[in-house]
């Protein structure tokens, strides 16, 4: 592992290594991969020799040693005195490439995580848990109630997509997100990338009810999504990439409604509370948000369904304040209208 750290730059790089044993012979994995790829790419033993910086004789001897150990040819001569991989050699090259791809993805993820931790050490923020999360009133209330002496959580509020991408890039410790009525496995990227195979634990934090936030008494008589296209109805939207916006767009597509037919579709706010405030002050008539935001400002609420809110983190994360956050949210979720407990299994 190579590490370079400083005030202005930080880089971490892993390199593949190791050996593969064939019979009594041991070969460097990297050399085998380079040999097979160089012959495939250049169509010659000479190209393989030049790639590894070997003489032609040394390259030929290395190839023969490998073929002898395997008991079958890897390369065959072609017309024009070139060389190409045999079917066996091609299969071997594909197997190494597939294995390297899987290992490489794991190394890339760990590299990003180490870069993140080193940056925190260099900037004096090693003790703080970095959380990027989609806006939710219950989560914010609980975060504000955790005593500072129990551990610091640095919160950045952003859309679900942005939070998950930041987690995948190794820029944070924990991401808070939701995918509407879909699970992360069912949702599109980046949500589908947060899974156990990629080294993450996904904690279902709670379930919450989303619906149309409406002016008190619902004076426009809005009952369905189709009613949003009626003349005079002013919609207020969430920003692109937010879980609520993604859910709204999916519902419009399922209902066969074009966004262009909805007046105010391009008007965006960044939190459920901001959407509710726009409606409460008369600047808009309807928006999609959580029941808690409607209740706080005395708005009417037309439910469209329940969804899960998740916290995702590396499976190796060990932070007592993170466990306390999960427990505290669970203790309150069952007692607040529009929330309920989620299953506590981890995916």
CA 84 to chain centre: 40
Residues 133, 239 within the same domain: yes
For residue 102, the domain's CATH number is: 1.10.10.10
Residues 161, 85 within the same domain: no
pLDDT the model gives residue 342: 87
In a domain, 121, yes or no: no
% of the chain exceeding 70 in pLDDT: 80
Among candidate residues 110, 144, 166, the one where a domain is terminated: 110
pLDDT the model gives residue 22: 59
In a domain, 45, yes or no: yes
pLDDT the model gives residue 346: 40
Domain total for the chain? 2
Segment 161-175 mean pLDDT: 93
Residue 5: pLDDT above 70?
Answer: no
Residues 105, 146 within the same domain: no
170 or 216, which is more confident: 216
At residue 221 the predicted structure's pLDDT band, cuts being 50, 70 and 90, is very high
In a domain, 5, yes or no: no
In a domain, 123, yes or no: no
Q: Which residues contact 53 (CB under 8 A, 6 or more apart)?
A: none
In a domain, 305, yes or no: yes
Among candidate residues 49, 76, 110, the one where a domain is terminated: 110
pLDDT the model gives residue 90: 86
When the pLDDT of each residue in the chain is averaged and rounded to a whole number, the result is 84
User: Quick one: CA torsion of 265, 267, 271, 272, rounded to 10 degrees?
Assistant: -50
Residues 103, 19 within the same domain: yes
- The 10s digit of each residue's pLDDT in 105-164 is 555 555 555 555 555 544 444 468 999 999 999 999 999 999 888 888 999 999 999 999
Where is mean pLDDT largest: 22-31, 54-63, 71-80, 111-120? 54-63
pLDDT the model gives residue 225: 97
Its domain, for residue 132, covers: 128-340
In a domain, 7, yes or no: no
User: How far apart, in Å, are the Cα atoms of 155 and each of 57, 175, 291, 333, 340?
Assistant: 61, 10, 23, 20, 23
pLDDT the model gives residue 69: 79
Residues 143, 66 within the same domain: no
Residues 85, 138 within the same domain: no
Residues 327, 212 within the same domain: yes
For residue 139, the domain's CATH number is: 3.40.190.290
Question: Could you tell me if 236 and 267 are in contact, meaning their C-beta atoms sit under 8 angstroms apart?
Answer: yes
Residues 319, 289 within the same domain: yes
- The 10s digit of each residue's pLDDT in 119-132 is 554 444 446 899 99
Tokens representing residue 220 in the block? 């426009």
Residues 98, 142 within the same domain: no
Residues 76, 141 within the same domain: no
């Amino acid at each position: 592992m190579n590490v370079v750290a400083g005030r202005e730059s930080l880089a971490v790089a892993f390199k593949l290594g190791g050996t593969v044993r064939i019979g009594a012979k041991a070969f460097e994995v990297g050399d085998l991969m380079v040999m097979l790829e160089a012959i495939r790419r250049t169509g010659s033993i000479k190209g393989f020799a030049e790639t590894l910086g070997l003489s032609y004789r040394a390259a030929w001897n290395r190839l023969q040693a490998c073929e002898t150990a395997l008991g079958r040819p890897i390369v065959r001569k072609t017309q024009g005195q070139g060389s190409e991989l045999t079917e066996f050699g091609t299969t071997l090259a594909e197997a190494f490439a597939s294995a390297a791809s899987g290992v490489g993805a794991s190394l890339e993820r760990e590299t990003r995580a180490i870069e993140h931790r080193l940056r925190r050490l260099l900037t004096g923020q090693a003790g703080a848990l970095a959380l990027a999360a989609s806006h939710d009133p219950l989560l914010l209330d609980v975060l504000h109630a955790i005593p500072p002496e129990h551990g610091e959580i640095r919160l950045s509020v952003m859309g679900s997509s942005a939070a998950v991408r930041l987690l995948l890039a190794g820029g944070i410790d924990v991401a808070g997100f939701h995918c509407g009525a879909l699970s992360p496995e069912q949702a599109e990227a980046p949500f589908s990338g947060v899974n156990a195979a990629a080294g993450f634990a996904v904690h279902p934090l709670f379930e919450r009810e989303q619906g149309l936030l409406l002016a008190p008494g619902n004076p426009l008589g809005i009952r369905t999504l189709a009613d949003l296209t009626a003349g005079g109805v002013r919609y207020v939207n969430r920003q692109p990439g937010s879980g609520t916006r993604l859910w709204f767009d999916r519902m419009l597509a399922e209902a066969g409604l074009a966004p262009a037919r909805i007046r105010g579709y391009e008007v965006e706010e960044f939190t459920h509370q901001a959407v509710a405030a726009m409606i409460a002050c008369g600047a808009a008539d309807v928006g999609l948000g959580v029941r808690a935001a409607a209740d706080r400002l005395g708005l009417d609420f037309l439910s469209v369904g329940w969804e899960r809110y998740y916290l995702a983190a590396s499976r190796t994360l060990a932070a007592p304040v993170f466990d306390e956050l999960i427990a505290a949210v669970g203790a309150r979720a069952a007692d607040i209208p529009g929330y309920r407990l989620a299953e506590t299994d981890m995916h």
